[in-house]
C-alpha cells in the first residue's frame, strides 16, 4: 500500500510556506536532513544510513525526487548538497564533512581575517589537512572541485593544503565560530607560523610581515609562539630560520610594535637563531630555482622576489 505524507517546508527568505508531497521513504530521509546535526554535503550512502534494505534498493530514484523538489542539489555523481532548509549552505558549513575522517584545521587568510591580522575578506578558505590514503586525498580534491563550480552560491571556495607533517598538525589549534559555523582553526600564534610555511598561498612574505606586525600589536602569547615554533621546528627545520628572519626584519622597523613586545620578540629571535645554528643544513624561502641571497646567520637562501617584496612594503610604510 502506498502512503503519501504532506510536509511543509519553510522558506524564510521567501516569506512563504510552499508545501510538497513526499512518499514514505522521501519523508524519512527528509526528517534526517532537517536535523541540526545533519551533514550539509552528503553521499548516497550517508542518506541511506538507517534505512532498511528494501528501501535502499530504489534509493537513487528517491534522491532524484528529493532533488526535483528542492530538498537536495546534486553536485556530482552520488554527491549532494543539503538544501532542506530552503537555503544553500555556506561554504564554511561544508568544511567538516569535506574533511571528515582526517585531521584538519582552517587556516591562513580566512583565519588571519578572523584574528584581525588581515583586512582582506576571505573568499578562498584554505584548510590544512592530512589524508590517510590516496583514495581519501582524491575524494577531498574531487569534492572541492565540485563545490568550486558553485562558489558564487556558496560564498567562496575550499582549498585543501597538505600539511607538511602529520605530527605537528594539532599544535596551536582551537575552536571558534567562523561565519556562523564552529570550526577547528589555527590560533593567532599558529597562524603566524603557517605564514612562513605556506607563504605562496597567502600572497608572499609581505603579507606574512603585515600579519606578524599586527599580531605583535595584539595580545599574542610569546611563550606560546616560542613553544609551537620550537615543536614544529623539530619536524620542519625551515620554520626556525624563516620565522627568525621575519621577526628580525620586523624589529628593525622602529615604532611598529610596542616596547614590551619588542623585548619578547627579541628574546624569541635569539631562541630561533639558537635552533637554526644546530644544523649545517641550509634552507630556502621562495622558489628554489630563482636567484636568491644567502643569509648565513639563518642558514637561509631567500629569493630576490621575496626580498624585494619585503623591501617595498617597508619603504612604503
24-33 and 59-68 helices, crossing angle to 10°? 70
Asked whether the beta carbons of 232 and 239 are under 8 A apart, the reply is yes
Mean pLDDT of 47-60: 63
Q: How confident is the model at residue 22 (pLDDT cuts 50, 70, 90)?
A: confident
Q: Check residue 227 and give its pLDDT.
A: 94
Q: What is the pLDDT of residues 64-121, one digit of tens each?
A: 888 888 899 999 988 999 998 888 899 999 999 999 999 999 999 999 999 999 998 9
Q: What is the pLDDT of residues 155-195, one digit of tens each?
A: 999 999 999 888 888 889 999 999 989 999 999 999 999 99
Cell numbers standing for residue 280: 649545517
Asked whether the beta carbons of 102 and 129 are under 8 A apart, the reply is yes
Measured between alpha carbons, how far is 316 from 299 in angstroms, rounded to an integer? 28
On the question of pLDDT at 11 being above 80, the answer is no
Mean pLDDT of 217-226: 87
Mean pLDDT of 220-225: 91
Nearest Cα to Cα of residue 165 among 187, 192, 205, 197: 197
On the question of pLDDT at 147 being above 70, the answer is yes
- Whole-model pTM? 0.86
Mean pLDDT of 269-291: 91
On the question of pLDDT at 260 being above 90, the answer is no
Mean pLDDT of 5-20: 38
On the question of pLDDT at 29 being above 90, the answer is no
Secondary-structure class of domain 4-82 per CATH: mainly alpha
CA angle 188, 301, 128 (to 5 degrees): 35
Q: How confident is the model at residue 59 (pLDDT cuts 50, 70, 90)?
A: confident
On the question of pLDDT at 9 being above 70, the answer is no
Alpha helices (runs of H) in the chain, residue ranges in sequence order? 24-33, 44-48, 53-57, 59-68, 91-98, 109-114, 134-148, 151-154, 188-197, 199-202, 205-216, 222-235, 239-251, 259-276, 304-316
Cell numbers standing for residue 198: 605556506
What Rg, from alpha-carbon coordinates, does the chain have?
Answer: 24
Q: What is the pLDDT of residues 298-308, one digit of tens each?
A: 999 999 999 99
CA atoms within 13 A on the CB side of 118: 22
Cell numbers standing for residue 285: 624561502
Those residues whose C-beta lies under 8 Å from the C-beta of residue 20, and which sit 6 or more positions away, are: 6, 7, 8, 9, 69, 70, 71
- Report the 10 Å Cβ neighbour count for 41: 22
Asked whether the beta carbons of 210 and 313 are under 8 A apart, the reply is yes
Q: How confident is the model at residue 126 (pLDDT cuts 50, 70, 90)?
A: very high
Measured between alpha carbons, how far is 165 from 234 in angstroms, rounded to an integer? 10
Nearest Cα to Cα of residue 25 among 71, 67, 56: 56
Instruction: Please state, rounded to an integer, the average pLDDT across all residues of the chain.
Output: 86
Q: DSSP 3-state assignment of 154?
A: helix
Q: How confident is the model at residue 4 (pLDDT cuts 50, 70, 90)?
A: very low
Mean pLDDT of 145-156: 94
Measured between alpha carbons, how far is 11 from 237 in angstroms, rounded to an integer? 53
Q: Residue 78: which region, alpha, beta or left (left: phi > 0; alpha: psi -120 to 50)?
A: left
Q: First and final CA of the chain: distance in angstroms?
A: 76
On the question of pLDDT at 1 being above 50, the answer is no
Q: Residue 180: which region, alpha, beta or left (left: phi > 0; alpha: psi -120 to 50)?
A: left
Nearest Cα to Cα of residue 232 among 167, 144, 140, 313: 167
Q: Check residue 302 and give its pLDDT.
A: 96
Higher-pLDDT residue of 127 and 27 is 127
Mean pLDDT of 17-34: 74
Amino acid at each position: 500500500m502506498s502512503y503519501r505524507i504532506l510536509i511543509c517546508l519553510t522558506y524564510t527568505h521567501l516569506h512563504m510556506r510552499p508545501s510538497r508531497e513526499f512518499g514514505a521513504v522521501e519523508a524519512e530521509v527528509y526528517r534526517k536532513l532537517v536535523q541540526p546535526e545533519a551533514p550539509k554535503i552528503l553521499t548516497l550512502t550517508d542518506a541511506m544510513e538507517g534505512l532498511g534494505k528494501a528501501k535502499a534498493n530504489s534509493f537513487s530514484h528517491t534522491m532524484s525526487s528529493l532533488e526535483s523538489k528542492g530538498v537536495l542539489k546534486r553536485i556530482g555523481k552520488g554527491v549532494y548538497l543539503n538544501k532542506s532548509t530552503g537555503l544553500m549552505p555556506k561554504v564554511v558549513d561544508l568544511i567538516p564533512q569535506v574533511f571528515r575522517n582526517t585531521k584538519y584545521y582552517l587556516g591562513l587568510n580566512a583565519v588571519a581575517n578572523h584574528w584581525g591580522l588581515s583586512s582582506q575578506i576571505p573568499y578562498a578558505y584554505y584548510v590544512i589537512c592530512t589524508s590517510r590514503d590516496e583514495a581519501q586525498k582524491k575524494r577531498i580534491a574531487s569534492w572541492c572541485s565540485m563545490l568550486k563550480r558553485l562558489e558564487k552560491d556558496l560564498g567562496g571556495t575550499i582549498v585543501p593544503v597538505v600539511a607538511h607533517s602529520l605530527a605537528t598538525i594539532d599544535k596551536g589549534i582551537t575552536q571558534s565560530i567562523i561565519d556562523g559555523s564552529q570550526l577547528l582553526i589555527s590560533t593567532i600564534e599558529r597562524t603566524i607560523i603557517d605564514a612562513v610555511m605556506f607563504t605562496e598561498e597567502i600572497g608572499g612574505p609581505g603579507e606574512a610581515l603585515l600579519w606578524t606586525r599586527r599580531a605583535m600589536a595584539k595580545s599574542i602569547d610569546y611563550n606560546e609562539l616560542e613553544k609551537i615554533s620550537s615543536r614544529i621546528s623539530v619536524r620542519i627545520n625551515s620554520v626556525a630560520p624563516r620565522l627568525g628572519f621575519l621577526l628580525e626584519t620586523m624589529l628593525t622597523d622602529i615604532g611598529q610594535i610596542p616596547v614590551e613586545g619588542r623585548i619578547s620578540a627579541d628574546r624569541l629571535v635569539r631562541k630561533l637563531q639558537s635552533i637554526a645554528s644546530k644544523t649545517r643544513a641550509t634552507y630556502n624561502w621562495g622558489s628554489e630555482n630563482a636567484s636568491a641571497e644567502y643569509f648565513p646567520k639563518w642558514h637561509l637562501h631567500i629569493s630576490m622576489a621575496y626580498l624585494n617584496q619585503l623591501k617595498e612594503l617597508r619603504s612604503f610604510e
